[in-house]
């Protein structure tokens, strides 16, 4: 199958472009196509998911796509309470709560964030575009563009590391001072800077600045140095997670995007927005300090 990249395609990365075009193909299969050399751009094999496309590029997929019959769940607008902490004519920033997925999937049964944004956008007269992501169980600041032009600008800013992202996380063990974790993830550069905020008996509260944006970067990096995020069921410490669930009631990973800072696309100057720590995590800290 052949695709042509149009000027108005906002999905510039090859993996995101194909996810948008091949909605009936499982995501794992799309990455397999790329990894095994089944995707050509301008007749050249591309094996990197983050490869950047340009308008006019021709994409060929050397796979019989007719075998994929996955039903695509229609995304319908649904009322959803949104905690909006900043809004102008071109973008809004939410304090996303934990436990809500960004997009529907085969396993998603509850209302997703994009459904709530579509409902709000229909009411206010704009089309929402998610320009970055937070994991389902990560809370905090999330940027949403209101038009395609702003979505492109913000996507480029995230790619070129022009957006400063600060997270708050509770990690296992005792860490002193500050440091940088500079270990590649998936054969790609990944840089995480951290600073100790507070030490507890068996854990450390840290401020984290992401200099790159790899999948699960904070969680994977801290796990790699032996200090996994408390509550992380994928990369974390099972005994520590069970202890904090029983003793403090922590039911998800302790990770929150507390601040975003970037050049405002709407007006000259820098936009800096803080997302207050969610109530469940704030309560954990209060109990730890007792």
What amino acid positions are annotated as catalytic residues? 135
Residue in the block written with tokens 């500079």: 182
**CA nearest neighbour of 96 among 152, 135, 123, 129:** 135
- CA-CA distance, 70 to 123, in Å (whole number)? 31
Q: Round to whole Å and give the CA distance between 10 and 14.
A: 11
- With CA atoms as reference, report the closest residue to 167 among 249, 260, 237, 285: 260
**Tokens encoding 175:** 């860490």
Q: Which helix (H) or strand (E) holds 262?
A: strand 255-263
Q: What are phi and psi of 194, to 5 degrees?
A: -135, 160
Q: What is the largest CA-CA distance in the chain?
A: 63
Whole-angstrom distance, CA of residue 225 vs CA of residue 173 = 11
* Of residues 203, 202, 237, the one with CA closest to residue 219: 237
3-class DSSP assignment, residue 150: helix
Residues in contact with 117: Cβ distance below 8 Å, sequence separation at least 6, in sequence order = 80, 82, 128, 130, 144
Contact between 165 and 138 under an 8 Å Cβ cutoff? The reply is no
Q: Helices 279-289 and 238-248: crossing angle, nearest 10°?
A: 90
Radius of gyration of the CA atoms of the chain, in A: 20
């Amino acid at each position: 199958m052949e695709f042509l990249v149009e000027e108005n395609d906002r999905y510039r990365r090859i993996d995101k472009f194909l996810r948008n075009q091949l909605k009936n193909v499982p995501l794992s299969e799309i990455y397999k196509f790329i990894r095994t050399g089944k995707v050509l751009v301008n007749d050249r094999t591309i094996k990197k998911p983050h490869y950047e496309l340009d308008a006019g590029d021709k994409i060929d997929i050397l796979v019989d796509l007719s075998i994929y019959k996955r039903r695509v769940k229609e995304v319908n607008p649904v009322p959803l309470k949104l905690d909006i902490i900043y809004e102008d004519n071109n973008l809004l920033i939410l304090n996303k709560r934990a436990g809500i997925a960004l997009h529907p999937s085969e396993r998603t049964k509850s209302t997703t964030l994009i459904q709530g944004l579509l409902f709000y956008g229909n009411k206010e007269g704009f089309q929402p575009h998610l320009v970055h992501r937070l994991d389902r169980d990560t809370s905090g600041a999330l940027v949403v563009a209101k038009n395609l032009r702003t979505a492109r600008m913000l996507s480029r800013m995230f790619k070129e590391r022009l957006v400063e992202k600060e997270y708050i996380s509770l990690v296992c063990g005792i860490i002193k001072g500050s440091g940088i974790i500079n270990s590649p993830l998936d054969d790609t550069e990944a840089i995480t800077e951290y600073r100790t905020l507070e030490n507890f008996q068996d854990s450390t509260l840290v401020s984290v600045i992401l200099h790159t944006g790899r999948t699960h970067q904070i969680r994977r990096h801290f796990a790699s140095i032996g200090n996994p995020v408390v509550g992380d069921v994928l990369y974390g410490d099972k005994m520590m997670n069970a202890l904090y669930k029983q003793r403090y009631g922590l039911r998800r990973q302790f990770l929150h995007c507390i601040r975003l800072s970037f050049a405002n696309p709407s007006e000259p100057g820098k936009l800096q927005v803080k997302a207050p720590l969610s109530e469940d995590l704030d309560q954990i800290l209060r109990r730890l300090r007792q």
